[in-house]
Homo-oligomer: A and B are copies of this chain.
């Protein structure tokens, strides 16, 4: 076997391992607030030792960011799939996004964490910005397809953050159950979609 192949194999093994840890973390985060998850739990969930986590991630923050990036990618992917079948309506877009967030609370939890106090390395910042831009490209594409041409980028940002805000403000609303919450956040998302659409007819 050539050295190149070997190193390629090793690299893919490494990637697999990293993914294993990443998915273990994501799995845990779906069960409990990521701020209350510790290295030992992640290691146990991944079936590796604590030390191994640090062979793949410099520190926990780096892992958390990877989870965040993974979420961004997934949403991007989701929209890509949708877009390939003809661009969705605004309502559909909002619904897709809200549904994704409902099933991935970590995403907007981390949004709060990293966008506010969290210290990001320069590298992480760069990666984050890059992936975020790609996601925004998709949203912008949909808006353009729906007829929004003027300042479509800012509109994308506004829509994106409005939907995040809905989840953060109402997804954990004390005293309501999951179903009620999902129904209401979806309704609010619909309202947002509605007002955006109204803009078109100006």
Q: Please state if A188 and B161 are interface contacts (CB–CB under 8 Å).
A: yes
A5 CB contacts on chain B under 8 angstroms:
none
Q: Please state if B194 and A199 are interface contacts (CB–CB under 8 Å).
A: yes
Q: Please state if A170 and B157 are interface contacts (CB–CB under 8 Å).
A: yes
How many copies of this kind of chain does the complex include?
4
Which residues from 150 to 168 on chain A have a C-beta closer than 8 Å to any C-beta of chain B?
151, 154-155, 157-158, 160-166, 168
Minimum C-beta distance from A18 to chain B (A): 20
Chain A: interface size category: 35 or more
Residues of chain A whose beta carbon lies under 8 Å from any beta carbon of chain B = 33, 35-36, 105, 108-109, 111-117, 120, 125, 128-129, 151, 154-155, 157-158, 160-166, 168-175, 187-188, 191-192, 194-196, 198-202
* Contact A125 B174, CB 8 Å, known A33-B117, A168-B161, A188-B154: yes
